[in-house]
Amino acid sequence: MDTKAHADETINHITPYRIYVLVWVTLMVLTVISVGVSYFHFGIFNIVVALAVASVKASLVALYFMHLKYEDKITWVFALYPLGLLALLIGLSISDVFFRAVVSP
């Protein structure tokens, strides 16, 4: 598909009301699940489940509400590269805090 045709398709795409309502219902169900799970104690799995559910919700918001599903590649690059930077920021901060060797003066 050439770029022009793709641009037309992106611009012309109209998400029907019904799809948005379905996404909303799913988001609400996921919210109820994450609140429900917080009443049980699974140790480390609580945070894993909480973050997994949050990430599914965030993906739904980005893909449908923010229209990312119908965007071209360059928009995906703009949308995804901050996630890589976030991983670097949080990952390296953690490795610094927990693995820094204590040097005696």
3-state secondary structure of 43: coil
With beta carbons less than 8 A apart as the criterion, state whether 64 and 81 touch: no
CB nearer to another protein: pick between 39 and 105: 39
Based on the shown chain and the rule CB under 8 A, indicate whether residue 69 belongs to the binding site for another protein: no
Select the residue interacting with another protein from 1, 98, 104, 105 (CB under 8 A): 98
Residues 24-63 that bind another protein (CB under 8 A): 24, 27-28, 31, 34-35, 37-42, 46-47, 50-51, 53-54, 57-58, 61-62
**Residue 99: how many CA atoms within 13 Å on its side-chain side?**
6
CB nearer to another protein: pick between 18 and 104: 18
H helices of the chain, where?
Answer: 3-12, 17-37, 44-60, 73-99
